[in-house]
Amino acid sequence: MGRIYPVLLSGGTGSRLWPVSRAQMPKQLMPLLSGSSLLQETANRLAGLDDVAPPLVIANSDHRFMIAAQLQELGITATALVLEPVGRNTAAAAAVAAKIVGDLDPESILVLLPADHHIPDAEGFKQAVRQGAELAARGHIVTFGITPRSPETGYGYIKRGTALGDDAFTVAQFCEKPDLARADAFLADGSYDWNSGIFMARADTLTEEMKVHCPDIAAQCTSAVAGSNRDMDFLRLDEPAFEACPSAPIDTAVMEHTSKAVVIPVDIGWSDVGSWGALWDLGEKDEAGNVISGDVVALDTEETYIRGNGRLVTTLGVKDLIVVDTGDAVLIADKARVQDIRDVVTRLKELGRSEHETHSRVHRPWGYYESIEAGDRYQVKHLMVKPGASLSLQMHHHRAEHWVVVKGTARVVLGNKEMLLSENESTYIPIGTPHRLENPGKVPLSIIEVQSGCYLGEDDIVRMDDVYGRLAETP
């Protein structure tokens, strides 16, 4: 049996968990249930199993530096960190992973793991993966059916077929998300499990089945990998080939058609963390059924999820609500409407607002910046630059900047001059002057930046040199 390659699927945006999850900082990169992000939990999920390779990550290009940093925190060097130029759903991601791993060893086994799931029973899951690896080695494509805890309408279902022994079954049918009456019937039947979206197969098995059942996806992904190029630690898929790839989930592209599908039912506490209701279900509740985090005072409040973010949040006389404060946005929703929060995100896009895209704290490979105050022709930000990191050499056409060092030491390039600034020292960057900020020290560098000018948008950045290879990108 070949090595097991975890494949972390990290291309989603998690819009139903707005305002915490946003396009530039989606839910899989957030610590929602522990001190680690969901992606970090997933990356560690198979730790301790024999002959498991470092993970292969397939992700949105916009998230690449944050993913790399989170893996680095765990001491993990990925087998590959593959960047999708556009989203094409899980079938394309699976085809790309099968091609990359198959070129290393066709008999290696892929475990396709959505990076935004939560599995508290880690040992139970590892035991299921051991069982799945044996079945995958024999040419099956394995999925894991979650023992249903309720008539859930937000999940797809898998109907078990013929028993194969060792608590595995052929797949009789994949079922789309049902209405409540059908979900009740599935639960009463006893032979249906929730579809976890986790799959295992040998690389060559998956490739051959995709050639049969979704040949366009297989062909375009093969071309995208063949035309890929290295960018620092990342592998960028060929953009024209991948853009031409049809978009489909692996369930409908392969699993509903293949004769090789088997399901292993498991009861491991799984959740796709797909909504604030799911986080209420998973959270530790007080005597009134509330799940509370942050600085919160809740009076006469029941069955409510409240998440604060530094400032005081109070509730009085409410029940069955979702209350989430992120500092720059507040969500108040009926708990029965959590699946509709994506409609709020759609409306924010229609209004041209930025809150669906970014937080007030925006992460960059060198650290982050955070908006403090903005008004007519001025903006104040806090910049944190990691030790040894530097911003690009850049200039602005429409704004000037003042930098004040709050903590640490800054090396500043300003035109043809270079200077070191210590705490409480400052400098001025005129409009049109090339400049760069570096942190030569061993502690994080904190800067207060005051911008002034007729236009203060982030797209007023002209990069001349960048250690992170972002010259061709918009900020």
Sorting pLDDT into bands at 50, 70 and 90, what band is 473?
A: confident
Are 293 and 411 in the same domain? no
Asked if the model's pLDDT at residue 60 lies above 80, the reply is yes
Burial letters for 36-59: b for 16+ Cβ neighbours within 10 Å, e otherwise? bbbbbbbbebbeeeeebbebbbbb
Give CA–CA dist 289/303, Å, rounded: 4
**215-267 confidence digits (pLDDT tens):** 999 999 999 999 999 998 999 999 999 999 999 999 999 999 999 999 999 99
Residue 400 three-state SS: strand
* 475, part of any domain: no
Owning domain of residue 344: 276-349
Q: What string of H, E and C letters represents the secondary structure of 255-290?
A: HCCCCCEEEEEECCCCECCCCHHHHHHHCCCCCCCC
pLDDT given at position 471: 81
Confidence category of residue 474, pLDDT binned at 50, 70, 90: low
Rounded to whole angstroms, the Cα distance separating 24 from 30 reads: 11
Q: Tell me the average pLDDT across 285-293.
A: 97
Both 287 and 314 in one domain: the answer is: yes
The count of domains in the chain is 3
More confident residue, 2 or 428: 428
CATH of the domain at 401: 2.60.120.10
Between CA 30 and CA 367 the distance in angstroms is: 16
Q: What's the angle, vertex CA 412, arms to CA 408 and CA 413, rounded to 5?
A: 165
Decide the pairing of beta strands 367-375 and 361-364: antiparallel
445-453 vs 234-236, strand pairing mode: unpaired
The answer to whether 33 and 273 are in contact (CB under 8 A) is yes
Rounded Cα–Cα distance for residues 435 and 393 (Å): 6
Q: Are 392 and 317 part of one and the same domain?
A: no
- Distance between CA atoms of 321 and 325, rounded to whole angstroms? 13
| 356, part of any domain | no
Phi, psi of 316 (to 5 degrees): -150, 120
In whole angstroms, what is the distance from residue 456 CA to residue 371 CA? 12
pLDDT at res. 13: 82
DSSP β-bridge partners for residue 109: 4, 202
User: Among the three residues 239, 266, 293, which one is the final residue of a domain in this structure?
Assistant: 266
Rounded to 5 degrees, φ, ψ at 322 are -115, 125
In a domain, 129, yes or no: yes
180 and 313 housed in the same domain: no
Domain boundary among 349, 377, 403: 349
Span between the terminal Cα atoms of the chain, in Å: 45
User: Taking the alpha carbons of 44, 46, 50, 54 in that order, is the dihedral positive or negative?
Assistant: negative
Give the integer Cα–Cα distance in Å for 241 and 226: 10
Q: So what's the pLDDT on residue 1?
A: 73
Percent of the chain with pLDDT over 70: 99
**Which residues fall within 8 angstroms of residue 114, CB to CB, at 6 or more apart?**
9, 12, 42, 90, 197, 198, 272
Across residues 329-354, what is the average pLDDT? 96
pLDDT at 472: 74
Distances in whole angstroms, Cα of residue 150 to Cα of each of 153, 154, 194, 197: 9, 11, 10, 18
Whole-angstrom CA distances from 287 to 284, 291, 299, 304, 318 are 10, 10, 12, 12, 15
| Residue 408 Ramachandran class (φ > 0 left, ψ -120 to 50 alpha, else beta) | left
Pair 318, 437 in one domain: no
Q: Is residue 104 part of a domain?
A: yes
- 160 falls within a domain: yes
- Say whether pLDDT at 271 is over 90: yes
Same domain for 378 and 342: no
Are 252 and 282 contained in the same domain? no
Quick one: tokens of 302? Answer: 């029941």
Question: Residue 242 maps to which CATH number?
Answer: 3.90.550.10
HEC per residue, 163-224: EEECCEEEEEEEECCCCHHHHHHHHHHCCEEEEEEEEEEEHHHHHHHHHHHCHHHHHHHHHH
Q: What is the pLDDT of residues 62-116, one digit of tens each?
A: 999 999 999 999 999 999 999 999 999 999 999 999 999 999 999 999 999 999 9
Residue 175 has pLDDT above 70, yes or no: yes
What integer pLDDT is reported at residue 251 of this predicted model?
94
Give tens-digit pLDDT for 37-52.
999 999 999 999 999 9
Distance between CA atoms of 285 and 290, rounded to whole angstroms? 5
Integer CA distances (angstroms), 376 to 8, 334, 387, in order? 44, 36, 33
Residue 150 lies in a domain: yes
Residue 416 confidence (pLDDT): 94
Q: What is the pLDDT of residue 475?
A: 63
Cβ 188 vs Cβ 180: under 8 Å: no
- 16's CB contacts (< 8 A; 6+ apart) are 274, 275, 276, 338, 339, 341, 342
Tokens of 3: 């090595």
